[in-house]
Amino acid sequence: MKVIAKTGNDELATVYVAQSDNGKLLEFVESLPPPFTINEKWVLIISTLYGCPIKCRFCDAGSYYNGKPTKDELLFQIDYLIKNRFGGETVPSKKFKIQFSRMGEPTLNPAVLDVLKEIPNRYNAPGFYPSLSTIAPNGTDEFFEELLLIKNKYYKNKFQFQFSIHSTDLNQRDWLIPVKKWSFEKMAKFGEKFHQGDRQKITLNFALSSDSIVESNVLLQYFNPDDFLIKITPVNPTYKALQNKLDSFIYKPSKQYQIIDNLRSTGYEVIVSIGDLTENEIGSNCGQHVMNFLKNNVAIQESYTFSLQQFLD
Ligand code: SF4
C-alpha cells in the first residue's frame, strides 16, 4: 500500500489517497478541528471499504465498490498518519479520535473489529477513543454483537457510536439509503444495550437537506432521550448530492432552526455539527478525491463541485 496523492492544509485537514498493491484506491483524512491544538485534539478519519456498495444518495463513496481492505490495509492508514505527525507509535494528544467513517459502511468489513482489538496494544495513545457510524444494513448482526463485546472490554465510556438515519419517514429513508436495513425498533434495542452502563449516549445522525423529514414523535416512539442524542449535520457538497438535487438545510451555526427547537423541546440533546466550511474547499467530504482521481487520473486539483459562496450568505 502506498500514498499516491495528498491535498489540504496542515492547519485544518489533509486528505490522502492511497493505492493498494493490487491497484485499489481509498482515501483517509487527518483533521485538526479548531480551536484545538494538536496536543489537545487530533482526529483521523479512515476508510473501511474501497468505495461503498450502499450508494447513499448524497455520498460519493457509493459511486463504486471494489472490496474490503484487509486489517493491514486499515492499519496502514493509521500508521501512516501517526508516523507522519509523531514519528513513532506514541500519540500525545489529550483527545485522539479515529473515525471509521470515511469511505465505506464499516459493518461490512469484519477487519474493522480486528483493528479495534489491536489499537490498544499497537499504539501508546492514552487519549484514544473510536467513533463508528453505521446505517445498520441487514445481515450484519454478528458484527454488532462482537462490537459490543469489544466496546465493553476496551472502550467503556469512550466509544462514540452513531446510527445514521437521515429521515424519520421510511420511504424517504429508503430512498436516501437504498438497501435493506435495520428497523428503528431493532436499532433502538441494540442502542440501549450498547449504552447500558456506559456514559456515552448513542448518536442518531441526520444529514439534513431542505426536504428532510424529521418528526420528533416518530423518534420518541423508539428512541429514549436517556439513551440517544441527535446530531444534525449538513449535506456535504458532493457530486452525488448535486446530481440528486440535495442541498443542505443546515449551513450556519448561528441560525435558529425550528426543526432543532422541536427536537430539543421533546427532551433530546441535539448537537449541530457544521464543521469548518474550508473543509469543503479542501475536499475532505466523503469520497470526493478518489472519485476525482478515478475520473481524471491526474493529480487532485479541484475538490468541490459548486461554489462555497452558496453556503456563506
Ligand atoms: S454514507 Fe456511508 S454507507 Fe452511505 S454510501 Fe457513503 S460510505 Fe456508504
Which domains does the chain possess? 2-312 (3.20.20.70)
Predicted local distance difference test score (pLDDT) of residue 309: 32
Span 62-78, average pLDDT: 95
More confident residue, 217 or 252: 217
The binding-site residues of ligand 1, defined as CB within 6 angstroms of any ligand atom, are: 52, 54-56, 59, 61-62, 103-105, 135, 286
Task: Give the Å distances, CA to CA, from 15 to 45, 50, 51, 269, 282.
Answer: 9, 15, 15, 31, 8
**Residue with CA nearest ligand 1 atom 6:** 59
Q: What is the pLDDT of residues 93-119, one digit of tens each?
A: 999 999 998 899 999 999 999 999 999
Q: What is the pLDDT of residues 168-195, one digit of tens each?
A: 999 999 999 999 999 999 999 999 999 9
| pTM of the full structure | 0.90
The best mutation among 29, 52, 66 to test binding of ligand 1, ranked by most ligand atoms within 8 Å of the C-beta, falls on 52
Question: What is the maximum alpha-carbon separation in the chain?
Answer: 52
The best mutation among 29, 48, 54 to test binding of ligand 1, ranked by most ligand atoms within 8 Å of the C-beta, falls on 54
| Dist. CA 136 → ligand 1 center (Å) | 11
Provide DSSP, 105-132: -GGG-THHHHHHHHHHHH-B-TTEEEEE
Per the CB < 8 A criterion, the answer to whether 52 and 31 are in contact is: no
| Dist. CA 283 → ligand 1 center (Å) | 16
Nearest CA-CA partner of 233 in 214, 208, 254, 211: 208
Q: What's the CA gap between 275 and 281, in Å, rounded? A: 12
Predicted local distance difference test score (pLDDT) of residue 260: 85
Q: Is 295 exposed, middle or buried (0-12, 13-18, 19+ CB in 10 A)?
A: exposed
Q: What's the CA gap between 312 and 254, in Å, rounded? A: 12
